[in-house]
A and B are shown apart, each in its own frame.
Chain A
Amino acid sequence: AQSVTQPDIHITVSEGASLELRCNYSYGATPYLFWYVQSPGQGLQLLLKYFSGDTLVQGIKGFEAEFKRSQSSFNLRKPSVHWSDAAEYFCAVGARRGSGNTGKLIFGQGTTLQVKP
């Protein structure tokens, strides 16, 4: 069965410091992988996704993530965090069916990011 684990429930970093949010997945083949961000009172917004090809993917707001097949990981990074990055971050895995993505996503439980001034 597919599953996603985000080991860190809560992370606090200082503004300007680097950030890495961990994500491990369980899936029988190469999945589609996503990172979403959810700010209070806002809908989930896609930061980036991995479909195939280059294992280092760039997203919006200066985020990047690296797919490591050998570690079943898809960690999210940002070199310098801004106060506006404080939010909840979700890693998700999507199943492939035939040649396409069914769209059904399995989410991790999320990591809450707090940014200290």
Chain B
Amino acid sequence: DTGVSQDPRHKITKRGQNVTFRCDPISEHNRLYWYRQTLGQGPEFLTYFQNEAQLEKSRLLSDRFSAERPKGSFSTLEIQRTEQGDSAMYLCASSLGVPAGELFFGEGSRLTVL
């Protein structure tokens, strides 16, 4: 399967711990996006990369959140000092970056903060 893959699929952590999620996009896609989805809500945009450059960050992305895409391939999303409000599904998507290009989503990484 050559779709978008995310790891881990589920992470349970205690409040105050750091967590890191990884996303491997479709190989030829130059754009990569992170979204957050809470129960009963639609996905909320967090940030996106074009190649290795982070071009936009949402105000939702507090200082405790950092995302990288060091070589323009896979990306990591780190959350430091997790809070219970961080519990959500973190979705990664990639695209070719053409006009009206489709975003291909991974299955998500579910974070539960106890």
Q: Footprint of B on A, CB under 8 Å?
A: 4, 9, 32, 36, 41-46, 49, 51, 90, 92, 94, 96, 99-110
The A interface, classified by DSSP as helix, strand, loop or mixed, is strand
A-B contact count (CB 8 A): 69
Q: Mark B78-112, 1 if CB is under 8 A from A, else 0.
A: 00000000000001010101111111111110000
Q: In the bound complex, do residue B107 and residue A41 qualify as a contact, i.e. CB atoms below 8 Å apart? A: yes
Other-chain contact of A105, B45, B55, B104, B107 (Cβ < 8 Å)? B45
Other-chain contact of B45, A42, A106, A108 (Cβ < 8 Å)? A106
A-B contact pairs, 27 of them (CB 8 A): A4-B42, A32-B100, A36-B105, A43-B4, A43-B104, A44-B93, A45-B105, A46-B103, A46-B104, A49-B102, A51-B100, A90-B42, A92-B42, A100-B98, A101-B98, A101-B101, A103-B31, A103-B33, A103-B97, A103-B103, A104-B45, A105-B43, A105-B103, A107-B44, A109-B40, A109-B41, A110-B40
Among B31, B56, B95, B102: residue with most chain A CB under 10 A: B102
Q: In the bound complex, do residue B43 and residue A90 qualify as a contact, i.e. CB atoms below 8 Å apart? A: yes
Other-chain contact of B105, A43, A103, A108 (Cβ < 8 Å)? A43
Query: From B9, which residue of chain A is reached at the shortest CB distance?
Result: A41
Query: From A33, which residue of chain B is reached at the shortest CB distance?
Result: B100
In the complex, what distance in Å separates the CA atom of A107 from the CA atom of B58? 14
- Chain B hits for A32, CB < 8 A: 99-100
- Chain A hits for B3, CB < 8 A: 43
- Chain B hits for A94, CB < 8 A: 100
In the complex, what distance in Å separates the CA atom of A114 from the CA atom of B90? 25
B48 at the interface (CB under 8 A from A): yes
In the complex, what distance in Å separates the CA atom of A92 from the CA atom of B43? 10
In the complex, what distance in Å separates the CA atom of A4 from the CA atom of B41? 12
- Chain A hits for B106, CB < 8 A: 43
- Chain B hits for A108, CB < 8 A: 42
